[in-house]
Amino acid sequence: MKPRSQGHAKEAILKADRNLFGQMILVAENRKLKMSDVLAHPLGPLPWALASGDGSLRKTNKAALARELERNVSPAEVIPEPSATIIDGMSLVQKLKGNDNTFSQLAGTAPSHVVHEGAKSRRIDVVFDVYKETSIKDAERANISAGTGIHFKNIQPGHNIQQWRKLLGSSSNKASLIKFLLVEEWKKPQHREKLEGKELYVTCEQLCFKITKEQWEEAPELKSSQEEADTRLLLHALHAAESGYKSVIITAEDTYQTSWSCVWACMCHKIPSHLFQKCGTKNRTRFLDITTLSRTLGGSVCDSLIGMHAFTGCDTVSAFAGRGKMTTTLKQVKMDKTYQDAFHELGRSWEVSPELFEKLQEITCHMYLPSTHTTEVNKLRYELFCARRGEVESKSTPSL
């Protein structure tokens, strides 16, 4: 299905808003219903607080969370040695200049980029996403790759690349490229020479390979069914720490990865090594001290960050319209144990208990109206309707 433009999406919402409240009032008068009862029901064909006009998930600025967390600590000045560097594989591939190069030439330049990224570390891990045919991230990937029409079933070393960015727009192309780099190229002696005295661990689908100047072999202890590189790299961080590395540096130079600071802060107490996150750009690099951040926030706050990150919007969960991650939620998490307990519990079971659902409703109400004493979303819609004398957009009324 061809994605609809943002203008069409807004038009759909405006048409719904224009007729919605007039129809609701008419129905209420004819059937002698209370407006509070009417507003206790869905306000349109889609919950506009959670859906865009084309039916897709609403997005939020995920990097805002990382920036707020970073304010709690100063950039690290010293990295304990020996260190290991863990790189998001696809982030590395995105930096390569593929146009007018063959796939073989591209495979030859990639190891140099890897070694440069981990220049000060003895060990370098490159962790790739796994691109499954059926995935919870299918909708997000389809949105990213919309409009790309280049697909490679078999990558040939001598093929000349003409449209590199479009090639990377396809998940199947990415999966083929990873296999080509690892299975056919990086294991070859001429590429292993570039590692000199460093150890390289690279993932390919569920497998992981250890590559040195002398040889390559499978690393069965790092085999994993994790789909996301962002979570799988924690397994590599733990492995490096248990192998004697005093610090682990996770590279995260784009805004998407910086939103995972909360995950790493939550998990770093289980890694017996100092954890750092490399942020910024080529000319303005800084190292976020995740271990110190975790200690500063405290265990209870850190344990709630993953739940809060998911609840306020991520790739697979819609954000609340106009309720960014930095409105009141993170501040409340730091101050209020109710928030901490709710977000800590969220996601620990497939089932949401009635008690947790009540807590999440209360949190949602405070996200939209901090001064309210209402703890039910359906009742809050009526409160907002009255407070604004009916002048309220449907996307500004909460859904859950």
Rounded Cα–Cα distance for residues 223 and 78 (Å): 32
- State pLDDT tens for residues 189-203: 988 998 988 999 999
pLDDT for 1 equals 38
Identify the three-state secondary structure at position 288. Answer: strand
Instruction: State the residue for tokens 């961080």.
Output: 237
Task: Tell me the pairing of strands 247-251 and 216-218.
Answer: unpaired
Alpha helices in the chain (DSSP H): 6-30, 35-38, 63-70, 89-95, 103-117, 138-144, 164-167, 171-179, 189-192, 229-242, 255-258, 261-267, 290-297, 299-311, 329-335, 337-345, 354-368, 377-387
- State pLDDT tens for residues 35-48: 777 777 766 677 87
Predicted TM-score (pTM) above 0.85: no
Rounded Cα–Cα distance for residues 81 and 326 (Å): 36
Mean pLDDT, all residues of the chain: 81
Q: Could you give the C-alpha distances from 12 to 15, 380, 397, in angstroms and in order?
A: 5, 24, 17
pLDDT for 96 equals 86
Q: How many CB atoms are closer than 10 A to CB 54? A: 14
Rounded to whole angstroms, the maximal C-alpha distance in the chain is 83
- State pLDDT tens for residues 93-147: 888 888 888 888 888 888 888 999 999 999 999 999 888 766 555 555 555 554 4
Instruction: Give the gyration radius of the chain's Cα atoms.
Output: 24
- pLDDT category at 29 given cuts 50, 70, 90 is low
Identify the three-state secondary structure at position 34. Answer: coil
Where is average pLDDT lowest: 64-73, 362-371, 378-387?
Answer: 64-73
Asked if 333 contacts 301 with a C-beta cutoff of 8 angstroms, the reply is: yes
Does the pLDDT of residue 56 top 50, yes or no? yes
- pLDDT category at 254 given cuts 50, 70, 90 is low
Rounded Cα–Cα distance for residues 348 and 302 (Å): 15
Cis check: omega of the bond before 82, within 30 degrees of 0: yes
Does the pLDDT of residue 245 top 60, yes or no? yes
pLDDT for 342 equals 94
